[in-house]
Amino acid sequence: MREVQVRPGQKLSLHEHGPGYPGMEHLPIEPLPDPAALEFVGADRVPAGGWVATSGDAWELAKNCGATTAHVESCQGCPSDYDSYREHDVYLVSVAP
């Protein structure tokens, strides 16, 4: 688990070290983080009605003080021969002044 410390209102990226292009970005997966502490916006945004099927810039927004765990995974829509490119990461995001 990777630890990230941020301040309320700060934008951050949980994206991996590899190059980003459509279909390879890290997207949130279940269990989703506490929405009071961390919100996915941009291409990672998860609206009340479900997932957004788009690509492009994506980042997260730290909201209120607290801590939450965020699970992200790359290449969710890739065919099976791309399995070696899949990554699953877990972050502990602490939001504090």
In this predicted model, what pLDDT tens digit does every residue of 18-66 receive, in sequence order? 555 545 556 778 898 999 999 877 654 445 555 444 444 567 888 999 9
Q: What is the DSSP string of 69-88?
A: EEEEES-TT--GGGGGG--E
Instruction: Indicate the number of domains in the chain.
Output: 1
Contact yes or no for 76/43 (Cβ under 8 A) = no
Compute the Cα dihedral for 81, 33, 94, 36 and give only its sign.
positive
Q: What are phi and psi of 15, to 5 degrees?
A: -75, 150
The Cα–Cα gap between 50 and 71 comes to: 17
The Cα–Cα gap between 78 and 23 comes to: 7
Residue 68: domain span = 2-15+24-95
Enter the pTM of the model.
Answer: 0.71
